[in-house]
């Protein structure tokens, strides 16, 4: 249906690092901007998200630092919004939802909260009341997260499942890039290189990947492992002395993810907890098959026997067995990578933006955009 007007949207995120949720916010904002919507991004001052948002030309409202619970920032944002017509306040993290509510309570704007995490507080009553009464809609990034939110007591009618998106590259780097990046890592074309990108936190399961690697390497001498992401400098202490093995590389967040993915044969997602798995989705968009844990929304993303393999959660032996199976047939591995790239198209940024935009219009009583 034809839309009567473009919308004024305020995105709120209080994260202090640039992780999957912040990347998703920026992708959504770029896609909505292309559709003509006016947007403002409210985020922590001097945060990586603030720098990226400003560099990409978005209006920015910096939430002040050293502000317990961002209460002062919420009041400042409330004052700012008097001069910014707003239709939607979209919070991308839990604290951000509180900020959005305080900044808009009593007004006509509709509030949307995105839930990407599988963590549910022990005080479920507080959680239920918060998302029932401060949000007009809750976006769950997977069916797994949707069930968790509903089981916590949030009315099902308020919960919309809209998966995270991925920007699908029109072309992939060639053999020259693959060889160059591998040489930088000290690996050769003959090596079987698996990798993972994610913050070095317990729920991401890098320790599981390291344990599984040594089981694989005992059978496949050319196996190599690359772990990249925020916090890599201190990761060695948590992962133990095994992580110092010469066949393992630990890196910071790659500046060029396309080059990083081009150098891999297989992507690993050994998470203990995962809302959907946006880094696995991005790897798939770059033509990589995935070995993932059966955690959270990952089984909704990785099609076993078509785009990758699934292993039991928190089990290095099962993860190692899946990796060995993947490495045993190079032709099948390439075919799975091609399937993964096609599968990622079902999660494109355009589709995520279209579904989110449709939700906005429905909340405002202005109809349903076609999906």
pLDDT digits over 96-117, tens only?
A: 999 999 999 988 999 999 999 8
Return the pLDDT at 229: 94
pLDDT score for 122: 63
pTM: 0.92
What pLDDT sits at residue 1?
43
DSSP 319-359: HHHHHHHHHT-HHHHHHHHHHHHHHHGGGBHHHHHHHHHHH
Residue 234 vs residue 192, higher pLDDT: 192
Q: Is the pLDDT of residue 2 over 60?
A: no
C-alpha dihedral sign at 75, 77, 81, 87: negative
Q: What is the CA radius of gyration of the chain?
A: 21
Domains of the chain: 8-165+348-363 (3.40.50.2000), 175-347 (3.40.50.2000)
Mean pLDDT confidence for 222-247: 90
Find the mean pLDDT for residues 322-331.
Answer: 98
301 band by pLDDT with thresholds 50, 70 and 90: very high
Strand partners, 38: 8
| Distance, CA of 205 to CA of 326 (rounded, Å) | 19
pLDDT of residue 83 exceeding 80, the answer is: no
Task: Return the pLDDT at 4.
Answer: 59
On the question of pLDDT at 84 being above 60, the answer is: yes
Q: Cα–Cα distance between 263 and 359 in angstroms, integer?
A: 39
Question: Is the pLDDT reported for residue 288 higher than 90?
Answer: yes
- Higher-pLDDT residue of 348, 3: 348
Say if strands 88-91 and 8-13 run parallel, antiparallel, or are unpaired.
parallel
Question: What pLDDT was estimated at residue 238?
Answer: 81
pLDDT for residue 367:
64
**In the prediction, which pLDDT does 82 show?**
83
Give the H or E element holding residue 268.
strand 266-269
Is 211 a residue whose pLDDT tops 50? yes
pLDDT above 80 (res 85)? no
Mean pLDDT of the 203-227 span: 97
pLDDT tier, 240 (very low <50, low <70, confident <90, very high otherwise):
confident
pLDDT greater than 50 at residue 370? no
**Residue ranges of the alpha helices (H) in 186-266?**
206-217, 232-239, 257-262
Which pLDDT score is estimated for 124? 67
Residue labelled with tokens 């990586």? 48
Mean pLDDT of 274-279: 95
User: Could you give the dihedral angle defined by the CA atoms of residues 106, 112, 117 and 118, in that order, rounded to the nearest 10 degrees?
Assistant: 80
Q: Are strands 248-251 and 266-269 parallel, antiparallel or unpaired?
A: unpaired
- What does the alpha-carbon distance between residue 260 and residue 258 come to, in Å, rounded to a whole number? 5
Residue 278 pLDDT greater than 70, yes or no? yes
Q: What is the pLDDT of residue 371?
A: 39
Q: What is the pLDDT of residues 123-167, one digit of tens each?
A: 667 778 888 889 999 999 999 999 999 998 999 999 999 999 999
For residue 180, the model assigns a pLDDT of 98
B/e letters for 278-295, b = 16+ CB within 10 Å, e = fewer, are: bbbbbbbbbbbbbbbbbb
Is the pLDDT confidence value at 369 over 50? Answer: no
Render pLDDT for 23-58 as a digit per residue (tens, 0 to 9).
Answer: 999 999 999 999 999 999 999 999 999 999 999 999
Residue 77 has pLDDT above 70, yes or no: yes
SS3 for 8-50 is EEEEEECCCCCCHHHHHHHHHHHHHHHCCCEEEEEEECCCHHH
State the sign of the Cα–Cα–Cα–Cα dihedral 349, 12, 122, 199.
Answer: positive
Average pLDDT, the chain: 93
């Amino acid at each position: 249906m034809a839309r009567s007007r473009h919308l004024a949207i305020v995105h709120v995120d209080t994260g202090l690092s640039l992780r999957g949720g912040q990347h998703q916010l920026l992708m959504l904002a770029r896609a909505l901007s292309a559709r003509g919507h006016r947007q403002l991004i409210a985020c922590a001052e001097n945060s990586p998200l603030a720098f990226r948002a400003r560099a990409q030309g978005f209006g920015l409202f910096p939430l002040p630092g050293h502000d317990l619970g961002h209460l002062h920032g919420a009041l400042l944002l409330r004052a700012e919004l008097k001069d910014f017509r707003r239709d939607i306040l979209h919070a991308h993290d839990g604290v951000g939802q509180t900020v959005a509510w305080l900044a808009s309570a009593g007004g006509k704007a509709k509030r949307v909260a995105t839930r990407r995490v599988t963590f549910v507080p022990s005080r479920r009553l507080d959680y239920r009341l918060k998302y029932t009464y401060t949000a007009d809609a809750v976006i769950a990034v997977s069916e797994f997260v949707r069930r968790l939110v509903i089981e916590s007591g949030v009315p099902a009618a308020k919960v919309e499942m809209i998966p995270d998106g991925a920007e699908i590259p029109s072309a992939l780097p060639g053999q020259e890039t693959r060889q160059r990046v591998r040489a930088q890592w000290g690996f050769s074309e003959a090596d079987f290189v698996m990798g993972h990108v994610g913050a070095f936190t317990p729920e991401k399961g890098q320790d599981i990947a390291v344990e599984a690697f040594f089981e694989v390497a005992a059978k496949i001498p050319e196996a190599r492992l690359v772990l990249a992401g925020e916090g890599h400098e201190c990761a060695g202490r948590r992962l133990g002395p095994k992580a110092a093995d010469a066949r393992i590389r630990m890196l910071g967040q790659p500046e060029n993810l396309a080059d990083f993915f081009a150098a891999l044969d297989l992507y690993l997602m050994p998470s203990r907890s995962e809302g959907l798995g946006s880094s696995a989705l991005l790897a798939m968009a770059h033509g990589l098959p995935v070995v993932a844990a059966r955690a959270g929304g990952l089984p909704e993303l990785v099609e076993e026997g078509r785009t990758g393999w699934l292993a039991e959660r928190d089990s290095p032996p099962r993860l190692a067995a899946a990796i060995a199976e993947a490495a045993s047939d190079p032709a099948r591995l390439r075919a799975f990578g091609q399937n993964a790239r096609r599968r990622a198209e079902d999660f494109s940024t355009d589709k995520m933006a279209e579904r989110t935009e449709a939700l906005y219009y429905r909340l405002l009583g202005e109809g349903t955009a076609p999906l």
